[in-house]
Amino acid sequence: MHRRHFLKTLATTTATTAAAAAATAAFPQILRAQPAGRATANARLAIGVIGTGGQGLNIMGQALASKRAQVIAVCDVDTRHAATARQRVNTAYENNDCAVYRDYRELLVRPGIDAVLIATPDHWHALQTIHAARAGKHIYCEKPAATTPAESRAMINAVARAGVACQIGSMQRSWAEFQRAIALARNGCLGKILSTKVGLPPGARLPQDPDRTRPDPIPPELDYELWLGPAPHRPYFEQGTHYYWRHNFAFSGGRLTDWIGHHHDIATLALGVDNQLPVAIRNARATFIEGRSLFNTAWTYNFDAHYASGAIVNLCDENREGITIEGTEGTIHVTRGRITHSTRALERVIIPPWKNPLARGARAHMENFIACALDGGEPRCPVISSHASIGAGHLANAAFRSGRSELLWNPVTETPIDAPDTAPFLQKTYRAPWTFPA
């Protein structure tokens, strides 16, 4: 089947629905995509995994551990990754049934798949999520949801039109220490908030050997053209592909966008400005990776994200890693695995269960997605949340790259104010034959 036909098929909802219905007998205990409230006690969500590198295997493992889900297919442009994933699935279920695909569009038109987990490089997230929504699949997509605000806005629209569940993998929302920090701030236990600082990792994890001056041969196990997809073409360099792509603006936004969907996401929840993009980026400054031709993202960075409510969050690689919230009645600092309180009174505050319902860890984030797909309800981290929290990083990167210390943003039109020089850094032109989904 040709790729052009796959895309045509994705737009043909009736054909997909009919094919899924015809295949029901092949998976008698797997729930087909259906309106909420029709799941049975024995229903299991049939899942396909798109992108089976390191993080893809991690979230796939969470799905394999769920009694309410069953992974039935895996997909990766690298056949080695796909083979590893298939073996793990078959070992978990003690059978040989897991299907393997190289092109995600083939997986999306396979009958019997209700949901997909997407853990591909960032430049693929928007397109694959939109295509999955159009195919009627529930979606768990790794953060960052997209590489520009326009991409994640298109994702929001596609998910809403399709009526499917879409969870973004900002799993700290499901961890106890972060939920406690959010509750303390939002319930007034800290008094009036005076300052909020977010510390993210600096630098970049790069190959130690110098960049090669000539392209490498494309390995036979990798479909490099499909790996690039809508990104600009560049010759294949092993050093710049698996994992290391995140430090090139053609594919991602560096350490900043790699981490902002975790700690800054929690800060926006604590301040009650979640699901909102900043109205201004101020005091922006950054240095960039030097001496490496394959890598160009920020090495150090600092900026203040200003919100319409008056809330301000400082994000800087020199801040203490995690989130520090200072109020008139006390200060807390929270990072993975630990929360510290400035007073014994804050330590003794008990958060009632109804105010802290999510604290069960990363696996709970996946279970929440599965429950929403089967039973209905909004996931803990919907696309709008990633659009907002990571969007602050996109705006900051645009300010850094254009040499601006300040960037004003219109939250209604979602466009920069009097800053045409930032347009090249906030827009993506997809490489043919891929097109930006209208």
- Express the helix, strand and coil content of the chain in percent, nearest 5 each: 40, 20, 40
In this prediction, residues 109-127 reach a mean pLDDT of 97
With the C-alpha atoms ordered 103, 150, 246, 265, is the resulting torsion angle positive or negative? negative
Task: Note the pLDDT of residue 437.
Answer: 81
E strand map for 41-144 = 44-50, 69-75, 99-101, 115-118, 138-141
Q: What is the pLDDT of residues 313-331, one digit of tens each?
A: 999 999 999 999 999 999 9
277-325: pLDDT as tens digits: 999 999 999 999 999 999 999 999 999 999 999 999 999 999 999 999 9
Rounded-to-integer distance, Cα 369 and Cα 355, Å: 20
Per-residue pLDDT, 258: 95
Residue 355: its pLDDT value, please?
A: 54
Residue 150 has pLDDT above 90, yes or no: yes
Q: Does residue 16 have a pLDDT over 80?
A: no
Could you tell me the pLDDT band of residue 42, with boundaries at 50, 70 and 90?
Answer: low
Q: Bin 300: left if φ > 0, else alpha if -120 < ψ < 50, else beta.
A: beta
Would you kindly state where each structural domain of the chain is located, as residue ranges? 3-172, 175-356+383-426
Domain spanning 3-172: CATH superfamily:
NAD(P)-binding Rossmann-like Domain (3.40.50.720)
**CA angle 57–79–362, rounded 5-degree value:** 10
pLDDT of amino acid 356: 53
Predicted local distance difference test score (pLDDT) of residue 105: 98
**Per DSSP, what are the bridge partners of residue 49?**
74, 117
CATH tag, 175-356+383-426: 3.30.360.10
Q: Which residue has the tokens 């039973």?
A: 375
